Chain A
Amino acid sequence: MNSCNLCLENLSAYLDGELTEAENQAFEAHINACDACSDELALMTSILSVFDELEEDLPEDFETSLHDRLVAAKEENETKRNRVGKIRFISQIAAGFVLVITLGLVIRSGFFGVQKDSASGMAAPAAAPEQVAGGAMTTQQNNIYKFSVGFAEDAETAMNSSSITEHDPIQVDDIGENIVDDGHVNVDKRALAMSFNEGIHNSLEGKDTLVTIRVEDMKLALDSIVAIQKKLEDGDAPNLSTLKTVRDNYYRGLDQNVEISLFYSNDVLWQEFLSEMQEAFPDMDVQSVAAKEESEHIRVLIQTVE
């Protein structure tokens, strides 16, 4: 890269005071010696100088109408809170079912050594994920790409496949400690089923809820999750867009295991999503893990199994 290109690349960061001291010195040395870049800097400075004055005043009735909306939101929230107890009860029943099914699986595949044929093309989670080889799973972990709710990131992914390189592959450490134990998939379904409710509870206290599902047919799984999100009352559209982006990428051949971060500003939606997921993917693992960001997310990790 020649020094003019480097200079232009650093132009914004220079104006924003975001260069390191060494970069700053190199930038200024070049600017002093190069008329073209010096003109660029002056031009950009003049364009940016008016930004300070672009700010406009609030509309007159802003505060009063906002107040009315806050009062309405508070009332609605209190009504919905009554429903949450009901959903929590239902999810406890669901968790109970998982426990029963899980024990059934453990007995069949563990005690009697029954091998489940995983070649059937079901979209549902692989019936016996315990059989997944640890080594294969580790390789897949390295191919996980992260998609999150921020619009811009989605937009970039959608519009330019090369920008996928901007997404850092999640390191195994990042999410691995809860899922991968010595290269083996954590198979303690009983504990996981028990933690289902705990996961919901902790979601209110700075924890992400990590949902792991293992599927044979990724397309069908993504379609199912999109359908669940659509079904949710007042479904959160950024989440829907995130999901669709992930699905489209998969359709376009970005054949990866995926982790999807979903944000729900509303506890009721959060729990409804989990309940629906539980119904669609009875074998899913639910864990409560430290939140990655300042706001809590539901992270859905979808792994393909052959």
Chain B
Amino acid sequence: MDTAEKNLVELSAGGDIDAFETLIKTHQKKVYNIALRMTKNPDDAQELAQDAFVRAFVAIKKFRGDASFSTWLYRITMNVCTDFLRKRNRAVVISMEQGAVGSEYENPIQLPVEGPGPDELTEKRQLKQLVRGAMDSLSPEHRQVLVLRELMDLSYKDISKTLNISEGTVKSRINRAREGLKQVILNKPEHFKDYVVKLYRKGGDS
């Protein structure tokens, strides 16, 4: 933690809202996107991201600076999101291998909208939509670990600290989550497979 950040943390701990807002400025978008991928809904995401910031503001005097501020903040965000998901899906049965089984997770994957032409931009957009749909169909714990890795770009070590699990568990969970992601993409409507295969063959040739 650099001196400026440390200073802001101290001021925030004393109740200085301006200092806290400066401190979180660069993290707002990330926190919102964590919440968005976890909840799959922009309104819930805004509410929960703000919950996380309020919680961080109230608890900041307990932040000791051993880990980075962002790791601490992401962890609070994750706790807020998982708490929310639990409340919403008390009855959902989660299966380790199959992702989640339950009403919320039975949403069919959105088929990519056929674009105006086969140009690369359209393909990229379709793939993006495809991955987002597949991501949303994963279990919360797999979504969570992928959000931390892919969106937050955290190292395994930082993910391990954020989720309070061992690095070995992080490694196997990420692998399982990505495998799940791939299976969802490949096993759903058949043309997804051709789509993905086509794309990566193209990438391989260039």
Interface residue ranges, A against B (CB under 8 Å): 8-9, 11-13, 16, 18, 42-59, 62-63, 65-67, 69-71, 73-74, 77-78, 148-153, 155-156, 158-160, 163, 166, 168, 204, 206, 237-238, 241, 263, 265-266, 291, 293-296
CA distance A16 to B148 in the complex (A): 12
Are A155 and B28 in contact, CB atoms less than 8 angstroms apart?
no
A66 touches B128 (CB 8 A): no
* B175 and A152 contact, CB distance less than 8 A: no
Bound Cα distance A220, B42 (Å)? 42
Q: Does B204 contact A (CB under 8 A)?
A: yes
Contact B156 A73 (CB under 8 A): no
Query: Which residues in A have their C-beta under 8 angstroms from that of B172?
Result: 9
Q: How far is the CB of B205 from chain A (nearest CB, A)?
A: 11
Which chain B positions have C-beta within 8 A of A265? 55, 58-59, 62, 76
Which are the 8 A-B pairs with shortest beta-carbon distances? A151-B82, A46-B200, A51-B150, A152-B141, A265-B59, A12-B175, A294-B67, A150-B164
B96 touches A237 (CB 8 A): no
Alpha-carbon separation in the docked complex, A89 to B32 (Å):
41
Residues of B within 8 A of A (CB-CB), count? 78
- Write the nearest CB–CB distance from A85 to chain B, whole angstroms: 17
Which secondary structure characterizes the binding site on chain A?
helix
Q: Is the CB–CB distance between A50 and B83 below 8 Å? A: no
Complex: A296 Cα to B149 Cα, angstroms: 25
Q: Kindly identify, within residues 25 to 77 of chain B, every residue whose CB is under 8 Å from any CB belonging to chain A.
A: 28-29, 32-33, 36-37, 42, 46, 49-50, 53-55, 57-59, 61-64, 66-67, 71-72, 75-76
| Interfacial chain A residues near B46, Cβ < 8 Å | 59, 62, 65
Q: How far is the CA of A56 from the CA of B161 in the complex (A)?
A: 25
Name which residue of chain A comes closest to B31, CB basis.
Answer: A58
List, sorted by A's number, 22 A–B pairs whose CB atoms are closer than 8 Å.
Answer: A9-B175, A12-B171, A42-B204, A47-B181, A47-B185, A54-B33, A54-B151, A56-B33, A59-B46, A62-B28, A62-B32, A66-B28, A66-B54, A67-B21, A149-B79, A149-B164, A152-B145, A155-B140, A241-B83, A294-B72, A295-B62, A295-B72
